[in-house]
């Protein structure tokens, strides 16, 4: 295509983008959060089965052996090593890479804003995000609902205690045009309800929303705690604006043994799915054994955030060059 040399965002949008980035940096300077940079390449990679890292090879000038390196899917592991080394509050604006993900709201390469706060509780971190989004991006105040509350409100069942069959029946009733042979686990069905039923409703709600206290089985790298009803929940939140998933925050898991168990169980699931095993980040495990401070952290998709703030339809509208034009 003769126009493929052109940027996908117009120059005016790129100027606004630059201003957003400058304002974000100012916000964190005012909040005494240190900007850091960590390597994009890593010898280890996340094990999550549905997250595919780009892999590249390091070729020494002499010798023929080639060593695999992975492009980061988020700067999380390196930033946690800085926290364990005593960095205090840190943030990073980094390019991250997720293989195979391309669409209106997905790009294989995108910009992530990630920050960690040793002093803040999960709800205090939500307060800080609320302040950032109002001050820098001009969004409305963000309301909060628990994951259980969202499901109770929309589907009238307790998602933490109901049976798998209740969830499957609800999904099949509410979502038309599913593949007839669809075979998912409990969390897979929940994710489908989230993307096909809840997110469109949140778009209609027209109000930014934090959903917090996820099912314990979706803890990822968050602590598992008990909610006020005594149910195990993941100390995690997600932020939705206009039905778009924008941020994922954790009260960070500190237990190295538990993390190793989750890594290994991920790799086990990868094996079942016929996917490559990922090298576990032993440096992260060692950092956690040495002592990760109690902290909360959040990753925000900057392209999506700016897309919404500037009222654009797709993330390539705020990226200098879309993946198709790199």
Q: What is the contact surface with other proteins in residues (CB under 8 A)?
A: 48, 50-51, 100-106, 175-179, 182, 184, 187-188, 191-192, 194-196, 220, 245, 248
Tokens of 292: 């990760």
Would you say 14 or 168 has its CB closer to other proteins? 168
Would you say 25 or 196 has its CB closer to other proteins? 196
Tokens of 303: 């392209």
Contact yes or no for 307/98 (Cβ under 8 A): no
SS3 161: coil
Contact yes or no for 128/91 (Cβ under 8 A): no
Q: How far is the CB of 16 from other proteins (least distance, A)?
A: 25
Would you say 125 or 247 has its CB closer to other proteins? 247
Q: How far is the CB of 239 from other proteins (least distance, A)?
A: 12
Q: How far is the CB of 33 from other proteins (least distance, A)?
A: 23
Alpha helices in the chain (DSSP H): 11-30, 76-84, 122-135, 147-155, 164-174, 186-193, 199-205, 256-272, 282-291, 302-309
Q: How far is the CB of 34 from other proteins (least distance, A)?
A: 25
Q: How far is the CB of 186 from other proteins (least distance, A)?
A: 12
261 phi-psi bin (left φ>0, alpha ψ -120 to 50, beta other): alpha
Count the Cβ atoms, other than its own, within 10 Å of residue 37. Answer: 10
Q: How far is the CB of 110 from other proteins (least distance, A)?
A: 12
**Running DSSP on this structure, what letter comes out for residue 43?**
S
Q: How far apart are CA 264 and CA 270, in angstroms?
A: 10
Q: How far is the CB of 17 from other proteins (least distance, A)?
A: 23
Would you say 105 or 310 has its CB closer to other proteins? 105
Would you say 55 or 178 has its CB closer to other proteins? 178
Would you say 42 or 248 has its CB closer to other proteins? 248
Displacement of CA 34 from its chain's centroid (Å): 21
Give the CB-side neighbour count of residue 153, counting CA atoms within 13 A.
11
Would you say 51 or 285 has its CB closer to other proteins? 51
């Amino acid at each position: 295509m003769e126009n493929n040399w052109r940027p996908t965002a117009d120059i005016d949008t790129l100027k606004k983008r630059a201003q957003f980035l400058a304002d974000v940096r100012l916000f964190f300077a005012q909040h005494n959060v240190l900007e850091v940079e960590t390597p994009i390449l890593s010898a280890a990679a996340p094990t999550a089965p549905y997250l595919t890292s780009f892999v590249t090879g390091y070729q020494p000038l002499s010798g023929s052996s080639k060593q695999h390196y992975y492009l980061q899917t988020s700067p999380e592991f390196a930033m946690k090593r800085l926290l364990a080394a005593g960095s205090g509050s840190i943030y990073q604006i980094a390019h991250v890479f997720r293989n195979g993900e391309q669409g209106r709201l997905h790009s294989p390469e995108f910009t992530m804003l990630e920050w960690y706060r040793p002093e803040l509780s999960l709800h205090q971190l939500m307060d800080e995000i609320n302040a950032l989004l109002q001050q820098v991006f001009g969004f409305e105040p963000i309301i909060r609902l628990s994951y259980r509350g969202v499901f109770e409100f929309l589907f009238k069942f307790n998602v933490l205690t109901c049976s798998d069959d209740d969830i499957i029946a609800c999904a099949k009733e509410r979502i038309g045009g599913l593949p007839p042979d669809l075979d998912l686990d409990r969390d897979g069905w929940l994710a489908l309800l989230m993307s096909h039923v809840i997110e469109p409703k949140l778009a209609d709600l027209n109000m930014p929303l934090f959903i917090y206290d996820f099912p314990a089985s979706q803890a990822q790298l968050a602590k598992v705690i008990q909610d006020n009803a005594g149910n195990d929940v993941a100390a995690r939140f997600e932020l939705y604006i206009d039905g778009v998933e924008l941020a994922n925050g954790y009260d960070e898991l500190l237990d190295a043994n538990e993390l190793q168990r989750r890594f290994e169980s991920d790799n086990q699931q990868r094996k079942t799915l016929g996917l490559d095993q990922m090298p576990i980040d032993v440096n992260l495990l060692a950092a956690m054994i040495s002592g990760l401070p109690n902290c909360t952290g959040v990753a925000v998709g900057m392209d999506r955030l700016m897309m919404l703030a500037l009222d654009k339809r797709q993330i390539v509208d705020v990226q200098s060059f879309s993946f198709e034009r790199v």
